[in-house]
Structure 1
């Protein structure tokens, strides 16, 4: 059999269709609307309300996210990605290493990173490869900010990146769905007080040991 005939007889390679641009836009609109509503009201908000805010039909939402957990996972991933970008922007945009840490902390608050905590209690695959990759990317970016500030002598040496993330998460509350809506106006004020306590030279000795990212992961596993 000749090469030309065997080539002609071979089955054509199957092409995987790419999502249409409008389908991708709808998916992005759903994730954006869900992120806003989960932050405001918690992740148990009715999904038809999410669809309404996104400007799509319920069928479109369920076609993209058949289960609530699928949407929660995507929102968590999106929120982590946004916070990672804020960390990278801070590192690139500030010469002073502590100024970079300060910029990131306030930016993470604006992204409402504290809303991650109640979302992480949701029923979804927390070890999904996309989530694991984005979590590692976020941890690397924030760890870099902390390491550079400490190496420059601008951040006290007895704190860890876990201390930073716990404080930012706690200070960006109240949690979604609470009645204390006016508390947001105090967030950046209280974050600045916290940041003043991180700057070197330290004015006191902290009790206990610095919190690491592994400490936070261990706590998350215990509470799940």
Structure 2
């Protein structure tokens, strides 16, 4: 008697290399234009900058919310990668924190912050997962500097990320590139204020991740 054989599993085809490149070009172009012009920039303009047709944009992202979410997640992923690289450094712990802060500012997190609070679902699983990766890795970077006695004890994750967002936010009506020469100078001033031993007592309490979620 012959036994029934299990049906062969269907293989999910991998996206073609050119399709992946097109998707990446769209996300890169969207990030640039969201930073320059805001999240309401026409998708047709994004397609032109990416060098793809309108149909390619809609094939990858059925609506604006899907594209905005992908851009925000990609920025968070690059920020998490910067934190992971900082953790991999074998030198000065506070130097690793400095490196992360400057790289995170270059990602223009502040320009994308309004999108996180816009119409799309900020509790989407992809966004939550990306946010958790960033939070965990940044906490590790900060804790290493704290354990080395280089980071003051009264500073929390929220303090760091709020300051990075505020200092990297361009003034109203000012293009990002025009303030780059001030950004890293002022960030370094802020970082010097994080060093232990503390030279002053901070008002209030350290800002936590939960504080940021509830803000």
Q: Same fold (TM over 0.5)?
A: yes
- Which residue, 119, 122, 143 being the options, matches 1:123? 119
Aligned residues: 213
CA RMSD of superposed structures (Å): 1.5
Check if 1:156 corresponds to 2:148.
no
Structure 1 portions without partners, runs of 5+: 220-224
Q: Normalised by the size of structure 2, how large is the TM-score?
A: 0.94
Distance 1:188 1:211 in 2: 23
* 1:42 matched residue in structure 2: 38
1:12 shift after superposition: 4.5
Query: What do residues 39-69 of structure 1 show as CA deviations (whole Å, max 9, x unaligned)?
Result: 1111111111110111100011011111100
Distance 2:45 2:16 in 1: 25
Structure 2 portions without partners, runs of 5+: none
Secondary structure at the aligned position of 2:183 is classed as: helix
- Which residue, 174, 177, 185 being the options, matches 1:180? 174
Distance 1:146 1:207 in 2: 20
Structure with larger Rg: 1
- Which residue, 160, 165, 168 being the options, matches 1:169? 165
Check if 1:76 corresponds to 2:75.
no
Does the 8 Å contact 1:83/1:111 carry over to 2? yes
Q: Normalised by the size of structure 1, how large is the TM-score?
A: 0.90
Check if 1:217 corresponds to 2:210.
no
Distance 1:102 1:170 in 2: 16
1:117 shift after superposition: 1.1
* 1:2 matched residue in structure 2: 2
* 1:222 matched residue in structure 2: none
Distance 2:39 2:118 in 1: 8
Distance 1:143 1:61 in 2: 36
* 1:111 matched residue in structure 2: 107
Does the 8 Å contact 1:171/1:191 carry over to 2? yes
Does the 8 Å contact 2:110/2:165 carry over to 1? yes
